[in-house]
Structure 1
């Protein structure tokens, strides 16, 4: 009855679910010490973040976020939504390319290094001499002309599918660094969010606005088409990376987590856990086709004071 009353006066079901989760005795005292440096930085420039890759972008559903990453092939026009709206970022895959991309046919086949069967995509050899220029001219350039000023650079670790020795990995990493340097040289005002890219951060951290990673608590298994909980050792490793990024580079860190889109309570539970660690949360479905839960939704509920958590 209470939930129906709240909904009747305009409070969304997501907020209701968050309220329920917040007051449940779901103690997260088992988490590692909170990473407090990130939130101080994330409030300047990135703020609350959403990732939406659906074909039909409803801008009004995303206006509560400060930064929104979109699939540029959706046809969304960022220039048509400039008043009281988020910073619109375009999704850009650097390490892989699919045949659906308009620029796929322009890439010389000798630049292709392998396959990612799970996502039906082709891995690009980052050591190809012409690749940095291609990214700038054929991928970023058209998006800049359309009005995008922020770019979410994905698949930065895909070279691991083809590079099997330390020397090969080092060469691929050098190629990625060259791509980022070329991008910022052409568009110095471009704002960049990296998806992982931990190995190249020492060389490019001063050129990026934030770092994201996926699956701190909930993950999507693309190969088996199912949602899973994240193993403790995987979470510990990611938290070590986050701590380094926050403390050494003073950059905001975003965790993109996944759970079924109809489980609002679970989405809020995960978002609250991420936020308690001082990271920027976003919890959505495995294909990022629905508007998920981020810190923008959590601000609508009374959260407990952040404390230092111990295992």
Structure 2
């Protein structure tokens, strides 16, 4: 075959153009909606619902310089039907089942989900860690689960949502803590926290920082006044906060 007869093979078009080197300008977001990839790429770290995005979407965001966390509920199950690991009570606010955290089938389910997500996500947002408040016997299995997740995925970024009853032990296994409802809340209507509640989240901030962990805040607002209160307090304390609505479906 002569050089004149050689034809270059056609190359498949990339799904998206290769990203130029960039540094995301915003710090942190928790978004449980769908799509909005172009908005999400402006954040340094985002927590998403895994079912709402393809592995290609997640890898594309990571190529933009974004740390992308998969939501993982540790202490509650959103399944509509009661399962072998379910307790008899439910979380009335969300309709989820409280689980027997140490149940072998539940822990196997969690580890399998984490293994799948971390094939393309950067890390995990570990939610519903506050079960030890309602069920003190869950404290040890909750800590064991987080410890095992760290052992299984030493390079993953693990962000705990609250879980204050698990401190200080929890700090050995996670990279950071998210203080949900740091300044404002949707409970009892959207509102700024009362003085004793603000004092509590301020004390949790201090404790988390003593362990040299990353700390983020998550606040809720419907009005500009509520949003401003959350942003001003977070800025004064040097905390990055994301302000959304209860469903966290806006960004």
Do the two structures share a fold, i.e. TM-score over 0.5? yes
- 2:240 aligns with 280
CA offset digits 1:59-83 (Å, max 9, x no partner): 2112221100111121243023333
> 1:133, 1:182 within 8 Å by CA — same for their partners in 2?
no
Q: Which residue of 2 aligns with 1:89?
A: 69
Runs of 4 or more off by more than 6 Å in structure 1?
none
Unpaired stretches in structure 2, ≥5 consecutive residues: 1-25
SS in 2 for 1:235: helix
Structure 1: any 5+ residue segments left out of the alignment?
Answer: 1-46, 164-168, 292-311
Cα distance in 1 between the residues matched to 2:131 and 2:202: 21
Selected match of 2:157 from 172, 191, 196:
191
CA distance, structure 2, for counterparts of residue 214 and residue 180 of structure 1: 19
* Counterpart pick for 1:245 among 194, 197, 208: 208
SS of alignment partner, residue 133 of structure 1: helix
1:181 aligns with 147
* Distance in 1, Cα, partners of 2:105 & 2:226: 45
Q: Which has the larger radius of gyration?
A: 2
Alignment partner of 1:81: what SS? helix
Structure richer in strand, relative to its length = 2
Task: Give distance in 2, aligned partners of 1:81 and 1:48.
Answer: 14
Q: Deviations over 1:276-308 (max 9, x none)?
A: 1122211111211111xxxxxxxxxxxxxxxxx
Q: 1:53 aligns with which of 24, 27, 32?
A: 32
Q: For the Cα contact (< 8 Å) 1:215–1:255, is it kept in 2?
A: yes
Aligned length: 223
Provide the rounded CA distance (Å) in 2 between the counterparts of 1:231 and 1:84: 39
CA contact (8 A) 2:44 2:65 kept: yes
RMSD of the alignment, in Å? Answer: 2.0
* TM-score normalised by the chain length of structure 2: 0.81
